[in-house]
Amino acid sequence: MLQYIAKRLAGLVPTLIIVAIMVFMFLHLLPGDPARLAAGMDATPETVELVRKDLGLDRPLHEQFARYVTGVLRGDFGRSLRTKRPVSQEIGERFAPTFWLTVASMTWSVVFGLIIGMLSAVWRNRWPDRLGMTLAVSGISFPAFALGMVLMQIFSVQLGWLPTVGADSARHYVLPSITLGAAVAAIMARFTRSSFVDILGDDYIRTARAKGLSERIVVMKHGLRNALIPVVTMMGLQFGFLLGGSIVVEVVFNWPGLGRLLVDAVDMRDYPVIQALVLLFSLEFILINLIVDVLYGLINPVIRYR
Amino acid sequence: MKPLSRPVFAGVLALCAFAAGPAFAAKDVVFAVASTFTTTDPYDANDTLSQAMAKSFYEGLFGFDKDMKMVPVLAESYSASPDGLVYTIKLKRGIKFHDGTDFKADAVKANLDRVTNPENKLKRYGLYNNNIAKTEVVDDYTARITLKTAFSPFINQLAHPSTVMISPTALQKYGNKDIAFHPVGTGPFKFVEWKQTDYLKVAKNENYWRKGYPKVDTITWKPVVDNNSRAALMQTGEAHFTFPLPYELAEVLKGKPDLEVVAAPSIVLRYLSMNTQQKPFDNPKVRQAIAYAINKDALAKVAFNGYAEAAQGVVPQGVEYSIKIGAWPNDLAKAKQLMSEAGYPNGFETELWSAYNHSTAQKVTQFLQQQLQQIGIRTKITLLEAGQRVEKVESWPDPKTAPVRLYYVGWSTSTGEADWAIRPLLGGESWPPKLFNTAYYKSDKVDADIRNAQLTTSSGEKAKLYEDAQKTIWQDAPWAPLVVEKLLSAHNKKLSGVYVIPDASFNFTEVDLK
């Protein structure tokens, strides 16, 4: 097992190098001159040249790339073109709010999604199923920005129970995590349901029932464990997406997270920030996939790693 | 639970009253603004918002009041030599920077030397290096600035929100780049902290040189990107002032008893530029026909919800030396006649680009498309994203092949003076990639007017030259002038003394909270 993890971690390195090269290439293909954008509307050509020099964009591309790679190897991701602060600092400040928001939304949405999915599967095509799936479809179809605004209007403006924007206290997490988690909960519910429905028809479930086990033990012990495998995969994927920072939710709730940083960075062609963010997102996905694979083994001991 | 004994109860009451007493209530004001600040260093900023915020702790030699009239701030007075080359500026006495340094002529020299030095790579370098040759200290309270060539709007440039006085001691201590994280000025507020993701906070400068100011204890500048969220913040009372306010939300907030919505006049001009170097726009008749075909009043109603007015000239009212010509009439018959005379009775096909991709620009371009269809001009709309705009319009290297045709864009004259309203947009030497003459317009008459106006120091002479330039441009119609926007802001009724000034910056020296 440990050997397996070590092998996977070693495999990380080439993947990240390839990602770094691709991102660097694609970014410089984007239209728009970052020096011109940074210099602004009123700038004269000499100013734009000065800004270009200041940002190090006047050197040939391969030189810029070499500088970038050597910097990254030393743990230096450069400075943001927009704010001139170190990229690691820019990202560092925003990582925690996005991470905790992701954890908060994932927690409630997974619990909720699993319960609804299970109930729907057990009472398939009866009213709990209909109700659950109606909720799920609404959750997927209702756009996050609209949900966020409606929630804010009701709970902050009208009732005054919760703060509107910011990320300073636990109460600040309530509305954004509901908004962010709604779609995930819906996806989880549908996934759990379909996976459960498949398994409840399998032979070993029939055997378990024939043995005279109570329905609860059949569902919770024999059903849930096996149904969880695809659900965990989905959970990992969703977690990865949310960690990238939801642009919509972060904008609506003025969340100081990575999603807003990415939008700002793309707007201003802030190359160093975009590069570091994409690398970070790739790393997150790879790590999450690894964790998911390890979880498989814990859920179903039949799965072995070599 | 046991009821509180009477004396204790009275004591608690008294304590509450004490805590809530008006004399002890801190006046903390929150401004909700639309985007994050790029820097606190006005010499290295290109956005109006960062410069407006920096006015909390920085002041210039000159400045603009709430109606955009130029007023001396740290300067006492100035005089210009007859040839317009040497400006001598007398400074106010007894002013101290936040770090205790006395404000003297060496500060003027330190700041102007800093921005004109290319080594420092500041974004405002071009604006200053174009004209300042050298800055000298005559005595403690007199500074002398020598220009490379006569430039009559020079004092307006000193009033621009980027020309501020930073403490020379702090500049030395923190260096050229780090000063942005430790701003030290003479302004009414001292810098407290800047949490980039969340807010920037400033607190009252107890030793401010204007007695009795500032009237509040702190200001928190809070960037909130989403329009609806900013409106929500105003409704819950978490913010006292917000700008900009989108047109759709003005109606919502107007109904709230404790909020006030203000539509202030602006110098933000929206126009449709036409590439005069390319067929069919090389023909003045076609350009005039387009100007005649557009109903500007309807445009203001449809796209700006009525918060705009038809442009009354080439330079918006409120900019010094602008003249009022009157809105370009909307006359379809005349437009069609001009198109026939120009040889396009059945119109033509062309591109219509917008410099912005927000929803207002979308409405504007769709409206223009429909209006131009009436005279047979069929347009293909493209809303350019910032990067595309830079590549396809602003930095296109060769004027001959420039792909821009009809281009919807806007301009706000940050110096408040006609030179910066005409020269960068219509001067013969301002074609992209140099500046923003997207009409590729060149008129020897206008160019001569601009040059002569820079050279003269007589204000009457200047008025005459700029009037001639504006009239000539109006006739040549390199643009169809569209509308001048109004600036919508909202504030809590408890707050007073905060104004959005016509160039979309703020004036908050009088800010007070009831």
Residue pLDDT, tens place only, A21-43:
888 888 877 766 777 777 766 66
Note whether B177 contacts A32, CB cutoff 8 Å. Answer: no
Note whether B394 contacts A36, CB cutoff 8 Å. Answer: yes
The answer to whether ipTM exceeds 0.90 is: no
User: pLDDT of B284-304, one tens digit each?
Assistant: 999 999 999 999 999 999 999
| Comparison of pLDDT for B460 and A128, the residue scoring more | B460
Rounded to the nearest 5°, which phi and psi values hold at A191?
A: -65, -45
Helix (H, G, I), strand (E, B) or coil at B271: strand
Query: Considering only CB atoms, which chain B residues are within 8 Å of A84?
Result: 39, 177, 180
pTM over 0.95: no
* CA-based nearest distance B461→chain A, Å: 27
Q: Measure CB to CB from residue B130 to each of A44, A97, A260 and give the nearest one.
A: A44
Q: Which residues, 6 or more positions from B279, have their beta carbon under 8 angstroms from its beta carbon?
A: none
Residues of B (47-66) whose Cβ lies below 8 Å from A: 47
Q: At how many degrees (to 10) do helices B105-116 and B168-178 cross? A: 20
Note whether A163 contacts B123, CB cutoff 8 Å. Answer: no
> Would you place residue B240 in the very low, low, confident or very high pLDDT band (cuts 50, 70, 90)?
very high
Exposed e or buried b per residue across B347-379, where buried means at least 16 C-beta atoms within 10 angstroms of its C-beta: beebebbbbbeeebbebbbebbbebbeebbbeb
Please report, as a single letter, which amino acid is at residue B106: D
Tell me how far the alpha carbon of residue B312 is from its chain's centroid: 19
Burial environment of residue A93 by CB neighbours within 10 A (0 to 12, 13 to 18, 19 or more): middle
Residue with tokens 């060496």: B106
pLDDT computed for residue A274 by the predictor: 87
Q: Residue range A86-107: average pLDDT?
A: 88
* CA-based nearest distance B61→chain A, Å: 21
- Whether residue A245 is predicted with pLDDT greater than 70 in this model: the reply is no
Does the CB of B34 have a partner CB in chain A at under 8 Å?
no
Number of neighbours of residue A163 by Cβ within 10 angstroms: 20
Q: Which of B46, B117, B269, B435 to mutate to test the interface with A (most CBs of A within 10 A)?
A: B46
Please report, as a single letter, which amino acid is at residue B103: F
Q: Which residue of A has its CA nearest to B38?
A: A83
User: pLDDT of B334-376, one tens digit each?
Assistant: 999 999 999 999 999 999 999 988 888 999 999 999 999 999 9
How many Cα neighbours within 13 Å face the side chain of B274? Answer: 25
Q: At how many degrees (to 10) do helices A271-299 and A258-267 cross? A: 150
Query: Considering only CB atoms, which chain B residues are within 8 Å of A93?
Result: 196-197
Q: Residue range A215-231: average pLDDT?
A: 79
Does the CB of B124 have a partner CB in chain A at under 8 Å?
yes
Structure tokens at B295: 């109903």
Contact (CB, 8 A) for B217 and B274: no
Show the DSSP H helices in chain A as ranges.
2-29, 34-39, 45-54, 61-73, 87-122, 127-141, 144-151, 170-200, 203-210, 215-217, 224-243, 247-252, 258-267, 271-299
Best CA proximity match to B48, nearest among B438, B510, B504, B508? B504
Note whether B121 contacts A50, CB cutoff 8 Å. Answer: yes
Note whether A53 contacts B121, CB cutoff 8 Å. Answer: yes
Query: Considering only CB atoms, which chain A residues are within 8 Å of B234?
Result: none
